[in-house]
Amino acid sequence: MTPRVSLFTASVHVTEVTTRLADFFDAKELRAATLGGQYAELWAAARHSSEGGKKFRPALVLNTYAALGGDSQDDAVAVAMAFELLHTAFLLHDDVIDGDTMRRGHPNLLGTFSAQASARGVSARSAATWGEASAILAGDLLIQAAQAQVARLGVGEHKRLALLDLLEECLFVTAAGELADVAFSTSVQIPVLSDVVSMTQWKTAHYSFQAPLQAGAILADASADTVRGLSEFGRNVGIAFQLRDDILGVFGVEDETGKSSTSDLREGKMTLLMCYALQRSDTDELASILAHSDITAADATRVRQLLETSGARDFIEALITDYAQLAMAAIDSPAIPAGLRRQLEEVARKACDRAA
Amino acid sequence: MTPRVSLFTASVHVTEVTTRLADFFDAKELRAATLGGQYAELWAAARHSSEGGKKFRPALVLNTYAALGGDSQDDAVAVAMAFELLHTAFLLHDDVIDGDTMRRGHPNLLGTFSAQASARGVSARSAATWGEASAILAGDLLIQAAQAQVARLGVGEHKRLALLDLLEECLFVTAAGELADVAFSTSVQIPVLSDVVSMTQWKTAHYSFQAPLQAGAILADASADTVRGLSEFGRNVGIAFQLRDDILGVFGVEDETGKSSTSDLREGKMTLLMCYALQRSDTDELASILAHSDITAADATRVRQLLETSGARDFIEALITDYAQLAMAAIDSPAIPAGLRRQLEEVARKACDRAA
């Protein structure tokens, strides 16, 4: 895995999350080995799935907590770890739903297990079942593990319940976003622009930005105003982050993003970029290209042209600027200490302007 | 849904679990409606998935708790509910893994959502994706909800952590069992008899018998001896229960079991019954019938004959008796109050001798 641009210049404490995750997976693998060799392999693959990401959700928890005066590093690391485990679980199940066998340029758990089964000579259908079952179960286990981190906190009942509520809401909202995403890409629902904005907020902004920021603040006993400001910041920066992702998914340089610049098109992903372009009357051509199941490189080039000429790319760039400004406004308040504000401004800049 | 034979003559408190589950789903549906109509439908379908079962896991928790002198009905109902939610989650994900669109004689969540998407005119592949995504997400949400019941108990840290450990181990072991089951049915692994016994214990006995009994006892502050005896009872009775299920799956009367008596054969389920028969040298014919993807009624009749003549059916019947005796022996101890022992003896009898 190639480490990619971090949203933070320095997040020293994130290495503690990596260490704690390694300990967690060590213990699980050891115990799993007593329940069959394949189960130990499943846990090893789950560990591998959790590696190589940017770990920016843990960084958001830890930096927010520290900036707000929190001093129990152990608790903060546990909560940070919960978000990373949840993120990994979402990726695992998302890949099953999308039928993806690759992630970050390498075979994912589903792809690896399917390929191993094929190599043992089982039928293609059985190999696919084996890969899917493995990825579903790994995700289930990590959803459980994420919550266990928070459930076992020794922080007093009031705070523990608040964090449990936050994590429950996090899965609840993200599942709504994932469901909407699938509804759009399968044409079960034909969305208008506002539907796609909501989906983006639910599926990405909530668990990747809002909830980690809120969690760090709640753990640090921050005021309701602080929690609210951070949530509002997270919501807006999260939407901007995803809009940048949508643009990179089509216009990005594969060597920099580590991701095929035709896969979003091939999967029929309904991004705000695409939704806007499809609603312009002069782009029937776009709909007809996207209706193909096979998108060629020439198709992709033409799609990029149409996204430019329809004004879709400019529209999204302008929206990114708008959401970034809303994010900044949300933390321009005495409830957010100046040190934290400076860090978050950098987060917003990197989320919106990155090339990978 | 036709209610089927209960493992208990009377479990008055189970109605409280049903009521609490209804309240839980009411609240979730209401909140889900604010995140899109489809999301509210998903929660309604998740509720439906949790209805109509025998609720014997909640009954095990509640009856054990009451028999051991527990007097906080509220806590016991929460724990009982956790097991029912976990059970529903397992069924939802199991159906995705097996590609089943029916459950208890009716379309399951996957089948219902796929059919609805097809009716809206989307492609067969998109309809399948929509059904699978919905069932995966519903299961994810219920795994989370199960754990939340235990995480929010106000029973003191020591007991809460013990119950969290129990629930974590419950998912951990059940996932190992599910993985082994899929490994066998996809031929990723060719099991010997002891592998199938382990799979049966992990996949069924642990979460359906052992863990609910242990949970009721821990919640009631029972001694370590009591918890151990109940766990041992649950393990043995759970295996016997599943072996009876395996026989009913092939020899059962469809009108009584509510389940097709050819579906286990069609899915290539590797039960102990089948594993034993396949290891008899004179039954190559059995392997060749089971290798077909289409099992006709005539095939099924022939399979039943072969299971009889190979001695497999008798072997399993004898095992059921053995495991039932081991279960009884485990509770023949002063650590198990006489009243509870009598109830559990009835559970064992019904689990082993039922016709549905």
**Contacts of residue A150 in chain B, CB cutoff 8 Å?**
151
How is A96-131 classified by DSSP, letter by letter? Answer: HHHT--EETTEE-HHHHHHHHHHHTT--HHHHHHHH
In sequence order, the β-bridge partners of residue A107 are A102
* CA B210 remoteness from chain centre: 12
Query: Is A39–B198 a contact, with Cβ atoms under 8 angstroms apart?
Result: no
Indicate left, alpha or beta for B191 from its phi (over 0: left) and psi (-120 to 50: alpha).
Answer: beta
The reply to whether A141 and A181 lie within a common domain is no
**Residue A191 shares a structural domain with residue A223:** yes
Nearest CB neighbour to B175, from listed A97, A137, A157: A137
Structural domain contains residue B165: no
Compute CA A298 distance to the chain's CA centroid, rounded to the nearest angstrom. Answer: 30
Q: For residue A230, give the CATH number of its domain.
A: 1.10.600.10
Q: Quick one: A44 and A172 in the same domain?
A: no
Tell me if B243 sits within 8 A of B200, measured CB to CB.
yes
Cβ B36–A182 below 8 Å, yes or no? no
The answer to whether B31 contacts A130, with C-beta atoms less than 8 Å apart, is no
3-state secondary structure of B223: coil
Taking only the tens place, the pLDDT of each residue in A106-156 is 999 999 999 999 999 999 999 999 999 999 999 999 999 999 999 999 999
Pair (A125, A191) in one structural domain: no
Helices (H), A189-295: 193-200, 211-219, 224-251, 254-257, 263-266, 272-278, 284-291
Task: Give the pLDDT band (50/70/90) at residue A13.
Answer: confident
Last residue of a domain, one of A109, A127, A154: A154
Q: Give how many domains chain B has, as a whole number.
A: 1
List chain A residues with CB under 8 Å of B127.
Answer: 186
Question: Within this chain, do residues A235 and A217 fall inside the same structural domain, yes or no?
Answer: yes
pLDDT digits (tens, 9 = 90+) for B200-222: 999 999 999 999 999 999 999 99
Q: Does residue A64 fall inside a structural domain?
A: no
Residues A294 and A270 in one domain: yes
ipTM: 0.96
Q: List CB contacts of B6: < 8 A, sequence separation 6 or more.
A: B54, B55, B56, B59, B350
C-alpha B313/C-alpha B303 separation (Å) is 11
For residue B279, how many other CB atoms are within 10 A of its CB? 12
Judge whether A118 lies within some domain: yes
Q: Please report the sign of the dihedral spanned by the C-alpha atoms of residue B315, residue B321, residue B322, residue B323.
A: positive
Contacts of A137 in chain B (CB under 8 A): 93, 175, 178-179
Reference A209, options A9, A4, A352, A24; nearest CA is A352
Interface check for B44 against chain A (CB to CB < 8 A): the answer is no
Q: Which three-class secondary structure string do you get for B130-154?
A: HHHHHHHHHHHHHHHHHHHHHHCCC
Residue in the structure block whose two tokens are 């099992």: B295
Alpha-carbon separation of residue A15 from A11, A54, A71 (angstroms): 8, 12, 17
Pick from A120, A161, A198: CB nearest B188: A120
User: What pLDDT does residue B350 have?
Assistant: 92
The pLDDT tens digits of the residues spanning A203-255 come to 999 999 999 999 999 999 999 999 999 999 999 999 999 999 999 999 988 77
Mean pLDDT of A158-164: 98
Check: CB of residue B122 under 8 Å from CB of residue A83: no
Of the residues A154, A188, A217, which one is the last residue of a structural domain?
A154
Query: Could you tell me if residue B49 is inside a domain?
Result: no
Strongest mean pLDDT among A2-11, A102-111, A199-208: A199-208
Closest in B36, B96, B141 to A172, CB measured? B141
Residues of A in contact with B38 (CB under 8 A): 179-180, 183, 188-189
Cβ contacts of A157 on chain B, cutoff 8 Å: 154
DSSP A183-208: HHHTTSS---HHHHHHHHIIIIIIII
Proportion of chain A above pLDDT 90, given as a percent: 83
pLDDT tens digit sequence for B79-111:
999 999 999 999 999 999 999 999 878 999 999
Residue A44 contacts B, CB cutoff 8 Å: no
Local confidence band at A257 (pLDDT 50, 70, 90 cut-offs): confident
Of B132, B148, B173, the CB nearest to A97: B132
Instruction: Give me the domain span that covers residue A276.
Output: 156-356
| Confidence bin at A268 (pLDDT 50/70/90) | confident
Are A3 and A14 within 8 A, CB to CB? no
pLDDT recorded at residue A48: 97
| Interface touch A161/B179, C-beta < 8 Å | no
Chain B residues touching A187 at Cβ < 8 A: 122, 126
Helix or strand (DSSP H, E) at B61: helix B56-67
Regarding whether A337 and A283 lie in a shared domain, the answer is: yes
Whether residues A24 and A78 share a domain: the answer is yes
- In DSSP terms, which residues pair with A103 in a beta bridge? A106
Q: Which positions in chain B touch A45 (Cβ < 8 Å)?
A: none
A126 CB neighbours in chain B (<8 A) are 186-188
Looking only at the bridges linking them, the beta strands covering B102-103 and A102-103 are unpaired
Phi, psi of A278 (to 5 degrees): -65, -25
Residue B1 lies in a domain: no
- Do A347 and A201 share a domain, yes or no? yes
The label of the residue with tokens 């408190």 reads B13
Q: Residues A217-239, buried b or exposed e (16+ Cβ, 10 A)?
A: bbbbebeeebbbbbbbbbbbbbb
The answer on A294 and A147 residing in a single domain is no
Residue to test with chain A: of B79, B172, B269, most A Cβ within 10 A: B172
Give residue for tokens 């019938």. B289
pLDDT digits (tens, 9 = 90+) for B242-268: 999 999 999 988 777 777 778 788 888
* Residue B127: φ, ψ to 5°: -65, -40
Q: Is residue A319 part of a domain?
A: yes
Q: Which of these three, A154, A181, A204, is where a domain ends? A: A154
Q: Are residues A164 and A220 in the same domain?
A: yes
| Shared domain check, A230 and A85 | no
Is-contact B95 B110, C-beta < 8 A? yes
Q: Does residue A325 belong to any structural domain of this protein? A: yes
Task: Show Cβ contacts of residue B165 under 8 Å, excluding neighbours closer than 6 positions.
Answer: none
Contact A36 B198 (CB under 8 A): yes
Report the C-alpha dihedral over residues A152, A155, A161, A165, rounded to 10 degrees: -80
pLDDT, tens digit (0-9, with 9 covering 90-100), for A20-42: 999 999 999 999 999 999 999 99
Instruction: State whether B179 and A42 contact (CB < 8 Å).
Output: yes
Q: Which two tokens stand for residue A112?
A: 């690896």
pLDDT category at B7 given cuts 50, 70, 90 is low
Residue contact A179–B120, C-beta within 8 A: no
A29 in a structural domain: yes
